[in-house]
Amino acid sequence: MTRSNTVTLAILCAILTSPLRGEVIESTAAGFLVRHTAAINAPPATVYAALTDGVGGWWDPAHTFSHDARNLSVDAKPGGCFCERLPDGGGVEHMRVVYASPGKLLRLTGAIGPLQEAALAGTMTWNLLSAGGVTTVELTYAVGGFRAGGFRDLPTVVDGVLRGQLARLKARVETGRPEGGSR
């Protein structure tokens, strides 16, 4: 086993010992970075399918504009939209897909939810790593730009929302129900 494989295995083992971890990695006057990891008892292809094709089955409806997660869709190809249909025939583009590697990685750009109202840009990456029948999902979201009043508690709020979303994805994949997550 090479040194890099040993290091990778050690990192994965550390991640796998905790089913769900997250934190605000950095927060400055210019932006912030949050990261979450979860060990999901399913192969990467299953997790990726839930992440993309099944987003409406696990995304918290409280964090949608229509209050109905079934209105969400992810077109998992470069230039594809993470979008939401609105009841009046309108819609919302939450993020744009910039990198899609089925079973491995999904990267999107955009400012989600109330972040859209500010001059912010964000990059969200869902990285899937497989080891021993378990898929470790690492979710990162880096946000930067101008926001009137600064960022203050925004990184903590975003951190909590994304922690809940990842917990709901894990619960949906493992149990068929998203109710394991928090808001």
10 Å CB burial of residue 78 (0-12, 13-18, 19+) is exposed
Query: Taking 50 as the threshold, does the pLDDT of residue 156 lie above it?
Result: yes
pLDDT at position 183 is 40
Q: What is the pLDDT of residues 108-133, one digit of tens each?
A: 999 998 899 999 999 999 999 999 99
DSSP assignment letter at 63: G
Fold of the CATH domain 3-175: Alpha-D-Glucose-1,6-Bisphosphate; Chain A, domain 4 (3.30.530)
Q: Which of 72, 120, 126 minimizes the C-alpha distance to 98?
A: 126
Q: What is the percent of the chain where pLDDT is above 90?
A: 80
- Find the DSSP H helices in 17-149: 44-52
Confidence label for 20 from pLDDT (cuts 50, 70 and 90): low
Q: Within 10 Å of residue 38's Cβ, how many Cβ atoms?
A: 25
Confidence label for 75 from pLDDT (cuts 50, 70 and 90): very high
Confidence label for 21 from pLDDT (cuts 50, 70 and 90): confident
